[in-house]
Homo-oligomer: A and B are copies of this chain.
Amino acid sequence: MSLVRARGELENRSGSTTGMARAVKAVLDLRDSGEVRGILGSMSELCTPKDSRDEEALAYAMGGGMNSIVVRDDETASQCISWLRRNKAGRATFLPLNRLQSRRPGGRSVMVSRQPGVVGFASDLLDYDNSIELAVINVVRDTLIVESMDVARRHMGGVRMVTRTGSVVEGSGAMVGGSTRTNRPQFGGKMAGSSVVEKAEADVDR
A89-B179, A153-B74, A179-B89 given; A100·B18 CB < 8 A: no
Segment among A4-12, A28-36, A46-54, A119-127 that sits at the interface with chain B: A4-12
Closest chain B residue, CB of each to CB of A15:
B17
The answer to whether A78 touches B153 (Cβ under 8 A) is yes
CA distance A12 to B78 in the complex (A): 29
Q: Are B178 and A96 in contact (CB under 8 A)?
A: no
Picked from B3, B12, B81, B176, the residue with its CB within 8 Å of the CB of A149 is B81
Please tell me if the beta carbons of A17 and B12 are within 8 angstroms of each other in the complex: yes
Contact A173-B96, Cβ < 8 Å, known A19-B179, A74-B156? yes
Closest-CB distance, A104 to chain B (whole angstroms)? 13
Which of A64, A78, A84, A177 has the most C-beta atoms of chain B within 10 angstroms of its own C-beta?
A: A177
Tell me which residues across on chain B come within 8 A of A85, comparing CB atoms. 165, 177-179
Q: How many residues of A contact B (CB 8 A)?
A: 53
A174 with B17: in contact, given A8-B7, A74-B156, A101-B157 (CB under 8 Å)? no
Interchain CB contact (< 8 A) of A78 among B18, B171, B175, B179: B175
Q: Is A181 an interface residue (CB 8 A)?
A: yes
Instruction: For A11, give the chain B residue with the smallest CB separation.
Output: B8
Footprint of B on A, CB under 8 Å?
Answer: 3-4, 7-8, 11-12, 16-19, 23, 64, 68, 74, 77-78, 81, 84-85, 87-96, 99-101, 103, 138, 149, 153, 156-158, 165, 167, 171-181, 183
14 A-B contacts (beta carbon < 8 Å): A7-B8, A8-B8, A11-B12, A12-B16, A84-B177, A84-B178, A85-B179, A87-B179, A90-B178, A91-B177, A93-B175, A94-B174, A101-B172, A138-B174
